[in-house]
Structures are given as structure tokens and as C-alpha cells.
Chain A
Amino acid sequence: DAGITQSPRHKVTETGTPVTLRCHQTENHRYMYWYRQDPGHGLRLIHYSYGVKDTDKGEVSDGYSVSRSKTEDFLLTLESATSSQTSVYFCAITGTGNTGELFFGEGSRLTVL
């Protein structure tokens, strides 16, 4: 399973509360990604990282921030969760020169009430 884990796997929270999702990898891969999966929208890229402290926005980055202080961890933070952020969040990793073959985590299901 490519040594990638996400936590928590399930979370229910209330509107306005902060939420942090963690992605942890043991593969020493350079690239890490956060996607959200929604019916009718497929997978959409939120943020990605191409190295420690190197991150960039994806197509749906509003309302989200990320941090990568070490190679193995990529954190996704919702500063003030909204109901529209109810989704399944997937982390993915890939190595340099391995364009396109992403290895995915199991997903984190977030419900914002």
C-alpha cells in the first residue's frame, strides 16, 4: 500500500471549528498531494507539495492551508470548517520521475455539520 497513511479516517465536526488532516508516508517521496472527492465532481486537487516547505495551490484551495515541515508528513488544515467542505479527502504521493503514478491513501471522510 505504498506506505501512506491518513488520519483521522473519519471525523465529524461543527461549522467554524478548525480541522487538521494528516498524511504520513514512509517512502521518502518528494511529491505529496491533497485531493477531495465529491459526487459529480470527481477528484479535485486542493494543494500539493514538491518538497519540505515547498507547497502550491491546486484548483480548489480556498479555505484550506497546508504545511510540510518534514518529508514524511503533509498536513491539510481547514481553519474554519464549512458544510461545503464535507467530503472525502485523499492524500497521494509520487516520486520524482514517476509522473502520473500516484499512490493514494485510504481517504479521510470529513462531515461538517
Chain B
Amino acid sequence: AQRVTQPEKLLSVFKGAPVELKCNYSYSGSPELFWYVQYSRQRLQLLLRHISRESIKGFTADLNKGETSFHLKKPFAQEEDSAMYYCALSGHGNNRLAFGKGNQVVVIP
């Protein structure tokens, strides 16, 4: 079974402060991990995936298989980062994505 856990529901941070969204997963095989974002009045969209190892909009996430985690981080939050963030997992070769419960991020000016 694929399971994703995002512990906090709401995260409020001041502009310029660091942001970290925690994501832990449970999967017996080789997982593929993703972060999706939903800005106000916009569609849910892919933010980044662990395979690409890239930084998108200043966000990074590192897959830690030992801790089964894929935390999302950004050193300096911006107001435009206010959004709903979902961690998601897909089993290797499996086209079904399991999502966490999401984190609402509010960046305070």
C-alpha cells in the first residue's frame, strides 16, 4: 500500500523566513515522490519531483530513503508562496498517485 503523511495542516510563516513542509511515506517498493501545489483559484500543478533533483521557485526536496521522508524546503518565503501543498507518491511503474492530506501555507507580509 502507498501512504503519505503530512503532519501539519496549516503553516504560517513571515516573509523571508524559512519554510519546511514535512512529508513521510510508506511504500514497500521503490517510490517516486512529488510535491504538488495549488495556488488560490488555480489548478493543482506539479511543483517538483525527486527524480529531477531540481529547484523550482526556490523550493527543494530531498528523498531520504532511510527516514522515508521527502521534506519540502525554501530558505526565504515569499508572499506568492501562499498556497496548498501536497506531497504525493507513486510506486515505480505504477501510474496511481497517492496524496497526503496537504499543508496550507500562509506567508505573512
In chain A, positions 26-44 with a C-beta closer than 8 Å to chain B are 31, 33, 35, 40-44
A40:B9 contact, CB within 8 angstroms: yes
Tell whether A42 pairs with B86 under 8 Å between CB atoms, given A104-B43, A104-B44: yes
B45:A42 contact, CB within 8 angstroms: no
Tell whether A31 pairs with B95 under 8 Å between CB atoms, given A42-B100, A43-B86, A99-B90: yes
A112 within 8 A of B: no
A99:B32 contact, CB within 8 angstroms: yes
Report the contact-size class of chain A (Cβ under 8 Å from the partner): 20 to 34
Q: What is the CA–CA distance of A40 and B44 in the complex, to the nearest angstrom?
A: 17
Q: How many A-B residue pairs have CB under 8 A?
A: 56
Which chain B residue has the least Cβ–Cβ distance from A105? B43
Report the contact-size class of chain B (Cβ under 8 Å from the partner): 20 to 34
B101 within 8 A of A: yes
Q: What is the CA–CA distance of A104 and B84 in the complex, to the nearest angstrom?
A: 15
Contact with B along A77-109 (1 / 0, CB 8 A): 000000000000010101000011110111100
Q: What is the CA–CA distance of A1 and B45 in the complex, to the nearest angstrom?
A: 10
Return chain A residues, CB-CB under 8 Å to B86.
42-43
A106:B90 contact, CB within 8 angstroms: no
Q: Could you list 6 further interchain pairs (A-B, Cβ under 8 angstroms) beyond the known A48-B96, A99-B32, A100-B90?
A: A42-B100, A43-B86, A43-B99, A59-B98, A90-B44, A99-B92
